[in-house]
Structure 1
């Protein structure tokens, strides 16, 4: 009953400890996952802490959920507007300016002065705890909020300041979503890497390497451009003396985040370099073993490369499509979009259909190519066209287009999912056109021989030396002569019979140490 799971565990352990390269790849994947996960968790902690502060102020000021902000302009020339609907050319423009660089918009001088006077003390008490309470004027109308702490006098922030803070709130909420995504991404990447090395899977190696390249590019964008850009915007619209807020709400946020961004980028670049070297060596080993094991002809190996490409693309698409869908769900349920959207039922239907179909779709493409089943490939292409059509129609949605443009992270995953869907369909079609040329037989033989691969046996020094020399059998020359066939022999009639040139017989079984390499065909 437990024989097969035990065999799988032993096989996995043996595959990981097959050589120093496989051990190094395993340890690297494990250590880097937890190191990168810790960095992402620290980023999440910082983002969620400051997002919580701003959200408390905005909620205490009773800013309606449906209000969203629109930032336009350039540094030192920013214009921030608040909209109760998404602007798309309607007769009544739904936005009004709440901040403009160098111009006071609805300022309350007393509030600004109080903010400037107490800005340092208010932030020093974040970790010690503070409360945010609504503040009312003499007419019992909500005028703003009061921030109180045990170590500093109360600080009053006007309602206009709270409206301005809706923009930082939206930015920080998106940052929190990104942090959560990257935490899950690290563990998904570790799983793909470990499965690849335990099964000798080239597609998983390619998927992991491509994923590391994408995450390294994104971390570079964050480090080089976005963090500094957000710092300048927050400083200008919130912290500059004389503005409606005039309070330094983020004195330590950007310094701390920048330090974590540096650590994140360094880890990503080093991981990309190290994984590239290790994957290159592993790919050569697995490719050589695959060719040597079955001895497939060149045309089959060419089709096999397309099969590997299909697998790599589909495995990356699993994560990308699920993340793109999840981000849209979060925006659709927790932001102003939830109030402004008028076709939420249709969006939910597409989301539900995508969630249900994505795993069967991946399986159809995977096994359709592997087993050369035309019906599977046709179904795979049909579902792929449904995904493309459904998510393309989403661009007719005003709220989706708005979210797509305003949040580059969502746009990146959305575009990547389209590219991967199209690429997987093209590659699957190429494989389909090459059916019945030996790929299915090759993969069947490869799977059958997997039970006899070195992973299920204990490795020995003799076997490793045989690997280095490229020999299948590794044995010492015996001291006694082995039987041979002679070139000529005489028949009973006295005539000569020709035989092949002398051939040494096979080594006796007691002289041939067992080699875990599969028999060549």
Structure 2
């Protein structure tokens, strides 16, 4: 029995969880299918993400295949990669140390113009103020080697990609000086050393493929959150991301043409005497790179159009749903720009940090770099701090949380100091100058961190001016049939949905401070027909008393934040006081009256006596408010102390004389049928 009860409770929990899951799925479905533009935007983002992930994966596989080919030749030639080989202009240089250092020893490896012998290199040494300092290093060796047959003997034959077979050649001391292909073509150390540069470039392309692939997933998540939360910052970040990734796709196509040109000129024709290691690989890579650019352009155009349509809807909801002043709107726009910078800056900062760590941990850099452990510690710390920095930048300003903003400001200063200081590193300068994609990511990340920090300080100066209340009040409960009331420091204002009747304050466009809230002119409550009004008692009807509402709960709200909302419901403001009016004149009873009988009095044994005390009607709903002719406020009709709600008025209650009695007194008939 105990087991059965436990199983039943578990099944209930499982059922509840399933219901919640289905409710979330239903909510997501409703947001996606809200309009045709939201549906198109979602499916465009999904298709764009899937297609570009496939294309980027194919490009990654192409680069991986080329890297395996080049690495195979380097391993077979016993190239230990103890020197850095890089491209400067149209020449290849090899250095035993980081080139930016004064003690760096760099030699000309391959000249683009085909000249041999000693050469010179012009290195760009970037300083902090972006001025360039040139230094010259003279080459001490020839860039080509002439093999002599008496210095080599055959070792073994290994399967390779080019010419099917290659032989490793050693000199008399057992040192490998080159490879001989199956057609007898010799690959010397210069040729093999030049392959180090090509292998590094292809490895960098693989890292670019991974970053771009991740960026496509991130763009889809931004688009999904845009639709789910109807978020303007995510919408702006998504479009900015499309622009950046499309620009980079175009640049990468251009860089592929340049890389192929350098490969053919420096490696195939100069260093390796016509040996082509990659063959038709370049055509394959072009065939996979061009579709990436085309699809990015199409996605950018379509996403921009759909985003413009969504922006009109989301902006109208964000700015017009809350009746705020223009100053609050300007602050909110500033926060939107900050949110876009935070999202983009967070991704680019993390991506550039990961790329630098990968570059410094592989290839020849890790063998020649000094203080590499310190660099890694700095970049790992930056990578760990960048995610909470982005989160705090988003939440601290929107919530106007001063403690969170202090932490965000501290992290911003730390990231700015680290990013600025790392530029002084020769190793960082070298990677920055020889890897365009990394340079683009780093510059974008740095600028976004700077802009985010400046905008964060600017937003901090606007704390306490009502932004947090503005953002809270934009969240209208789903299914609510009224508009919320928005608060100001010393006043609570509403904008009526319909025209205000003569009973309600006619100066509805004025604030409570400018109105006279003590009394309403008694002419506003004369609702009797002309004949009844002419026979009404001469005593003044008590004035309508309106209680001033309690002070708004957000006392620190800016006084300029005063517009009228669209609601006049009594439920719009829980702090609103009731509106009390006096009792209406007594109604005639179903007893014959002489024309001279004053209204409100009945005959009794030939004399006059006051009518019974009228009932007090308390309105508890909008219907009751309308019945009491007071729209948009609570109403008490008090006389004699007896109380009824409009919902409790039974059929036995007659609030007007019968048509027969009214006709005897010269009054028009009641257009409404009496309740039986």
Q: Answer yes or no: same fold by TM over 0.5.
A: yes
Match of 1:461 in 2: none
3-state DSSP of counterpart to 2:110:
strand
Measure, in 1, the Cα distance between the counterparts of 2:385 and 2:162. 50
Tell whether 2:259 aligns with 1:230: yes
Q: What is the CA distance between 1:141 and its match in structure 2?
A: 2.8
Tell whether 2:441 aligns with 1:403: no
Check 1:7–1:55 CA distance in 2 against 1; reply closer, same or farther (3 A cut): same
Check 1:132–1:382 CA distance in 2 against 1; reply closer, same or farther (3 A cut): farther
Q: What is the CA distance between 1:327 and its match in structure 2?
A: 0.5
Match of 2:216 in 1: 186
Measure, in 2, the Cα distance between the counterparts of 1:487 and 1:192. 60
After TM superposition, the structure 1 stretch with the greater mean CA deviation from structure 2, 435-444 or 7-16, is 7-16
Check 1:178–1:391 CA distance in 2 against 1; reply closer, same or farther (3 A cut): same
Check 1:69–1:286 CA distance in 2 against 1; reply closer, same or farther (3 A cut): same
Q: What is the CA distance between 1:155 and its match in structure 2?
A: 6.2
Q: What is the CA distance between 1:277 and its match in structure 2?
A: 0.4
Tell whether 2:160 aligns with 1:160: no
Measure, in 1, the Cα distance between the counterparts of 2:236 and 2:394. 16
After TM superposition, the structure 1 stretch with the greater mean CA deviation from structure 2, 51-60 or 325-334, is 51-60
Measure, in 1, the Cα distance between the counterparts of 2:447 and 2:100. 28
Tell whether 2:458 aligns with 1:430: yes
Q: What is the CA distance between 1:345 and its match in structure 2?
A: 2.6
Per-residue CA deviations over 1:374-406 (Å, capped at 9, x if unaligned) read 222222111101001012111221111110111
3-state DSSP of counterpart to 1:396:
coil
Match of 2:100 in 1: 88
Match of 1:206 in 2: 236
Measure, in 2, the Cα distance between the counterparts of 1:496 and 1:228. 96
Q: What is the CA distance between 1:138 and its match in structure 2?
A: 5.3
Match of 2:28 in 1: 12
Q: What is the CA distance between 1:253 and its match in structure 2?
A: 2.2
Measure, in 2, the Cα distance between the counterparts of 1:154 and 1:349. 49
Per-residue CA deviations over 1:456-504 (Å, capped at 9, x if unaligned) read xxxxxxxxxxxxxxxx99xxxxxxxxxxx998436642699999xxxxx
Match of 2:71 in 1: 55
Match of 1:221 in 2: 251
Higher RCO (C-alpha 8 Å, min separation 6): 1
Tell whether 2:445 aligns with 1:414: no
Tell whether 2:174 aligns with 1:140: yes
1:259-408 counterparts in 2 under 5 A? 259-408=287-436
Tell whether 2:55 aligns with 1:39: yes
After TM superposition, the structure 1 stretch with the greater mean CA deviation from structure 2, 290-299 or 52-61, is 290-299
Measure, in 2, the Cα distance between the counterparts of 1:135 and 1:410. 38
Per-residue CA deviations over 1:406-449 (Å, capped at 9, x if unaligned) read 111111111111111111111112211111111111111223x2
3-state DSSP of counterpart to 1:97:
strand
3-state DSSP of counterpart to 2:82:
coil
Q: Which residue, out of 215, 227, 236, partners 1:197?
A: 227
Per-residue CA deviations over 1:128-178 (Å, capped at 9, x if unaligned) read xx6766433455331223567xxxx68653332111111111111111111
Match of 2:268 in 1: 239
Per-residue CA deviations over 1:307-337 (Å, capped at 9, x if unaligned) read 1112111111221011100000001111222
Contact 1:122 1:155 (C-alpha < 8 Å) held by counterparts: no
3-state DSSP of counterpart to 1:294:
coil
Check 1:376–1:292 CA distance in 2 against 1; reply closer, same or farther (3 A cut): same
Match of 2:146 in 1: 108
Check 1:177–1:238 CA distance in 2 against 1; reply closer, same or farther (3 A cut): same
Check 1:260–1:496 CA distance in 2 against 1; reply closer, same or farther (3 A cut): farther
Contact 1:12 1:199 (C-alpha < 8 Å) held by counterparts: no
Tell whether 2:45 aligns with 1:29: yes
Measure, in 2, the Cα distance between the counterparts of 1:154 and 1:309. 64
Check 1:5–1:438 CA distance in 2 against 1; reply closer, same or farther (3 A cut): farther
3-state DSSP of counterpart to 2:423:
helix
Measure, in 2, the Cα distance between the counterparts of 1:334 and 1:286. 47
The TM-score with structure 2 as length reference comes to 0.62
Contact 1:60 1:132 (C-alpha < 8 Å) held by counterparts: no
The TM-score with structure 1 as length reference comes to 0.79
Contact 1:81 1:98 (C-alpha < 8 Å) held by counterparts: yes
Q: Give 1 or 2: higher helix fraction.
A: 1
Match of 2:507 in 1: none
How many residue pairs end up in the alignment?
451
Q: What is the CA distance between 1:451 and its match in structure 2?
A: 4.2
Check 1:110–1:256 CA distance in 2 against 1; reply closer, same or farther (3 A cut): farther
Check 1:89–1:138 CA distance in 2 against 1; reply closer, same or farther (3 A cut): closer
Gap regions ≥5 residues in structure 2: 1-15, 117-142, 150-158, 482-496, 499-523, 545-567, 570-620, 624-676
